[in-house]
A and B are shown apart, each in its own frame.
Chain A
């Protein structure tokens, strides 16, 4: 008896999750098809670029520095005595470029940007501001989602460049103090492990994560329930689901590009 209830619950949850992804895909398609009208929203796009990009820069730099420092210590202390120290340069480079950079950026922006978007749109919904937009014959997705989407597609890869740079420099400083690895050795290690394709992989991930952050924040904002608790719940869901999807997509993109 209990088992039947659990199976029913799992089935119902799976069904609603699939339906949610369906509605989210329709919203994404709608937002992308609105891009042709981007010239009407230049000031909104610039404003969103500043919000997503410039205002996230300090936290992205601080986090990248500490991730780089931690990586330097962890890799340095775990290398065997037979491994040449300069190898650490390459390990730090590839770790930051391929995984740590995009993932850290994605998760930080989920917390900062997706939550912000969900709260803003959710509040607009419960105070009838979205209905007011529609009554003016203004498409809320075109006005609220599309400018954020364009801004994120440029801002997130730009933030990644900063995150990678500061992460690698911090990794070098940490390696210097952990295993006394000099700049020349660090450069040699990076040179041995560097592939241009890694830079593209990293940028593609950041580009896609930017889309995920905006679309999840917007989706949960638009589906926010009444009242302050409804907006709070929408914000939490936006952060949780965008973070989970970023981690899933990170694997999918890595695997896809590896087999390509």
Chain B
């Protein structure tokens, strides 16, 4: 469950988030729709801790993230979340397989066999298997976002 209360964020004089109040219940799907530049990505980045809010409170599964640093976000928040970036944000020097492998290796410390199995499973889950050795620039934007989601 995500609870947001009175969230503010500005970049210089440009006010992006102006007192957002929002609750996302568990097992519910919520769509946020708005024009370009109205702060949809900024809101998500605030939730996952990539941007620090100017004011307000974000609570995730009962954990108040105010005052959290990188270490706390890495430990309590980010392992539970997945964020798909606008352009996929896949690491373009690595193949699709290596992109998915990175998090499994560094974050979850899984052995090679288990990682290979997970990569295969996750690619099959989005209906685009057998492209582990393809580079992101060889894919369409939509496919990049699918792989980014799997990663």
Say whether A128 contacts B106, CB under 8 Å.
no
Say whether A128 contacts B87, CB under 8 Å.
yes
Contact partner of A131 (CB less than 8 A), chosen from B81, B89, B151, is: B89
Say whether B50 contacts A137, CB under 8 Å.
no
- Any chain A CB within 8 A of the CB of B102? yes
Category for how many chain B residues contact A: 20 to 34
Category for how many chain A residues contact B: 10 to 19
Also in contact, A138 and B50, with CB within 8 A (given A127-B89, A129-B89): no
CA distance A79 to B103 in the complex (A): 63
User: Contacts of B78 on A, CB cut-off 8 Å?
Assistant: 134-137
Closest B residue to A43 using CB positions? B105
Distance in angstroms from B55 CB to nearest chain A CB is 22
User: Contacts of B85 on A, CB cut-off 8 Å?
Assistant: 128, 131-132
Contact partner of A138 (CB less than 8 A), chosen from B49, B83, B102, B148, is: B102
CA distance A134 to B50 in the complex (A): 7
Also in contact, A131 and B45, with CB within 8 A (given A137-B79, A139-B70, A139-B74): yes
Distance in angstroms from B37 CB to nearest chain A CB is 14
Say whether B83 contacts A137, CB under 8 Å.
no
Say whether B89 contacts A136, CB under 8 Å.
no
Say whether A137 contacts B92, CB under 8 Å.
no
User: Contacts of A128 on B, CB cut-off 8 Å?
Assistant: 85-87, 89
Residues of B that sit less than 8 Å from A by CB: 45, 48-50, 70, 73-75, 78-79, 81-83, 85-87, 89-93, 102-103, 105-107, 148, 151
